[in-house]
Structures are given as C-alpha cells and as structure tokens.
Amino acid sequence: MNVMSFLSLIIKNPFRNRTRASLAIVGIAIGIATIVALGMVTGGLQASTQSTLKAGAAEISVAKIGSNTFGSSGGTIDESVAIDIKNISGVKDTAGILRATANVTSVTTTSSSSSNFGPMGFSVSGIDSTKLSLVGIDSVNGTSFSNEGLNEIILGKSLAQNLNKTVGDSINLFGTDFKITGTYETGSFIQDMGAFISLSKLQNLTSNQNKVSTIVVKVNDNANVTQVSQTIQNTYPNDLSATTAADQANRINQSLGVINTASWAISLLAIIIGGIGVINTMIMSVFERTREIGVLKAVGWKSSRILAMILGESIVLTLVAAVIGIILGVVGVEIILNLLSSTGSVIKPVLSLDTLLRAFGVALLVGVIGGLYPAYRASKLAPTEALRYE
C-alpha cells in the first residue's frame, strides 16, 4: 500500500462538495472557538491566581470578620494590631494595608498624550513603601512612592495602560493631584488594576487615621503557615479572620472550576452538535459516491480501506475545523478582552497546551464519532448494488 497516495486521496475527498464541507467546518469551528476562548480566559485567571502564591509575598491575610477577601469593604482594624501580630511566634513581618476605591474624574498630564476616558473606579491601597514585597511587588518601574507625606503614587501596569498614564504624569484622586513615580506588575490582574500610595496619606484622605483594612503576614521560612494562621485566629477569636494565600487561591480555583465545567459542557455540546453535522455530511457524501465505492471494491479495495478512507475524510474535516476554530477563538478572545479593557476588566488570556489539546481532542472525537457510522455503511455496501446505484 502506498500511504502517501492514500493520504492525499483522504485529504482531497472531503472538499469535493465545497459548500457542504464549509458548512460542516464552520459548525464545528464555532464549537472549538468557544472551547478555546473559555480555556484561554480560565487559563488567564488561573495564572493570575498562581501569582498570588508567589515567593516573597505574605502568606496570610488578616481582616475584620465580615469583610471581603481583599478587605476593600467591611470594617477596619486598628493599625497597632499589625505590630501585635508580628510578635506571634513564627511571624516574620506584617504590613497594614488600607484599601479604598478611587474615582478618576479629571486627569492632568505632563506628557503630550491626552487622555479621553469616562469616570472610572479602581482600588487604591495604602501601605508602607518598604513593605511592598509583602503584596508581591518586588520591583517598581521608576521609583516607589515616598512615606514622607508627598503626593506620590505607583500604578499597576494594566491600570496605567487603561488610564494611558506613564511615570511622570499626574493623576487626581480624592481631590488631590498625585505624581506617578512608578509602575509595577505582579501578574495578578486584580492587583495590576490597582494603585499604591503611602498608608498615612490614604488614612488622611479617607479619614481613617491609624486604621487599616487588612494586615498581611509573612511567616518565617521554617514556620507552618496553617498553624500561624490558626494562632492569629485564636488570638482574635470574635474580631479577625485569618486566611492563607493558599486558601484564597483554592477558593478562586473553585470558582474557576465552574468556568471549567462550563467549558467541558460546551465541549460535550460541540461533540454532539458537530458530530451530528459530520454524520450528515459524511452520509450525504457516501450516498453520492455509492457507485464510486462499488468501483473501489471492484478494483480490489478491502472493506477496511474504504472504512479508513471515509473515517479519514471525516477526521480531515474536523481537524481543519479545529485549526480554524483555534484561530477564531484566539482572535475573538483578544478582540473581546481589548474591548472590555476600556471598562476596566483586564484578564490576560493564556493559550495553554491543555486548551490546544482539548480543542484537537474534541475535533478528533467529533471526526471519529461523526465518521464511524457513514464509514461502516460504506464499507458494508455490496459491490453489485453499489455499482447499480444511479
């Protein structure tokens, strides 16, 4: 048997009826594009979650009971608690963070570029600038803000892009002009869509003197994070709740699991709908080529070769659809997220090998499921009946 000649036949045959093949491909490609798009968004969120667990950052987050994970709403804690927690065994360092939501309504700029955006809210955190590493900011592009009462601010990379701001520009927050001294990137899309200023400055601007929203805790290298977290919890039983970064990541991952389940459900739907489409296409193709299949049998082709040919043609259709679907998915996600980025949502989509394998796996499965029955029928055609077919 000549494999190349046979493969070339399998690749050529599905496109004999171009309209029908194109319609089948479009149907499957849309399913694949959805799988890829969801996979990329989930991947981006997962990567962002992973970055919250990065080395150097605090492992425990302490907030008032009833406030949300990021401490941006709910009660405040007295700043002195951060010093008390630092004295607990196993704790290496702590940092109090005050969080507030700022609305940008007017912007002044020293650069030539002008900004044109509507009112926009984002999270501003106040922290001691020497403790930025505890929130995952290892380096600042430019310089960090001063703790000495100057109106200085550093912006997350995504926020800076959205606001069309760069180092040296100014930004008006809480009725005060701040000079942007630097930008940072942590990989966490929530963090990178925020800004940091000195803790005392934010406390003054929001009338929260000596108060913080969250205390982040870095433990000693040899300490057990869960145990330290439990000790903090036991020290302030009815007042504070301590959450480890791993717990937070797990919670986010559970939410991502919902998206992942939806992605699998769409995969299943794509398999069913795509499979039916392929069955229809291939059955029509077999009907039209009944006489031809009779000829192939007459010249000595085995039933297994005819089965392989029709199945191969079905797989070719779905693999072409997979390639088109992946391109559609990637381009679609980029376009949609670019549009959404102007409203403040910045997820960095990640095209992982897992997503690609799933796309091709689904396409292959659709090809096999959709092609199996028509291929079986073709292989079982009686040569004399097939040759008589008009």
Partner 1 sequence: MNEEENIIEIKDLKKSYDNGKIKALNGIDLVVKKGEFISIMGPSGSGKSTLLNMIGALDRADEGSIGVAGIDLMESRDLSKFRSKEIGFVFQMHNLIPNLNVLENVEIPMFETSLSSKEMRRRALELLGAVGLADRVDQNPTKLSGGERQRVAIARALVNKPSIILADEPTGALDSKTGDIILKLLKDLHTKEQVTLVMVTHEPYVAQMADRILNVLDGKINEQKKDESDLSVILKKFKQKA
- Of 300, 299, 316, nearest to 375 (Cα)? 316
Say which residue the tokens 């897992």 belong to.
Answer: 354
DSSP string, 253-308: HHHHHHHHHHHHHHHHHHHHHHHHHHHHHHHHHHHHTHHHHHHHHHTT--HHHHHH
1 binds partner 1 (CB under 8 A): yes
Say which residue the tokens 């405040």 belong to.
Answer: 76
Rounded to a whole number of angstroms, the distance between the first and last alpha carbons of the chain is 30
179 binds partner 1 (CB under 8 A): no
Of 92, 179, 305, 348, the residue at the interface with partner 1 (CB under 8 A) is: 305
Selected range binding partner 1 among 4-12, 118-126, 132-140, 365-373, rule: CB under 8 A: 4-12
Does an H or E element contain 63, and which?
strand 60-64
- Residue closer to partner 1, measured from CB, 357 or 382: 382
Selected range binding partner 1 among 1-9, 161-169, 189-197, 245-253, rule: CB under 8 A: 1-9
Selected range binding partner 1 among 7-15, 92-100, 245-253, 254-262, rule: CB under 8 A: 7-15
222 binds partner 1 (CB under 8 A): no
376 binds partner 1 (CB under 8 A): no
- Residue closer to partner 1, measured from CB, 164 or 303: 303
Rg (CA), the chain: 30
Residue 353, both tokens: 């090998």
300 binds partner 1 (CB under 8 A): yes
19 binds partner 1 (CB under 8 A): no
Residue 189, both tokens: 């899309």
384 binds partner 1 (CB under 8 A): yes
Of 301, 360, 373, 376, the residue at the interface with partner 1 (CB under 8 A) is: 301
- Residue closer to partner 1, measured from CB, 93 or 292: 292
Say which residue the tokens 């433990």 belong to.
Answer: 219
Q: How far apart are CA 99 and CA 197, in angstroms?
A: 10
Of 298, 331, 335, 357, the residue at the interface with partner 1 (CB under 8 A) is: 298
Please report, for residues 90, 150, 346, the alpha-carbon distance to residue 153 in angstroms, rounded to integers and kept in the order given. 32, 9, 20
Q: How far apart are CA 254 and CA 365, in angstroms?
A: 28
- Residue closer to partner 1, measured from CB, 235 or 303: 303
243 binds partner 1 (CB under 8 A): no
Beta bridge mates, 95:
216
290 binds partner 1 (CB under 8 A): no
Residue 85, both tokens: 């927690």
Selected range binding partner 1 among 8-16, 147-155, 185-193, 267-275, rule: CB under 8 A: 8-16
* Binding stretches for partner 1 (CB under 8 A): 1-2, 4-6, 9, 12-13, 16, 291-292, 294-303, 305, 382-384, 387
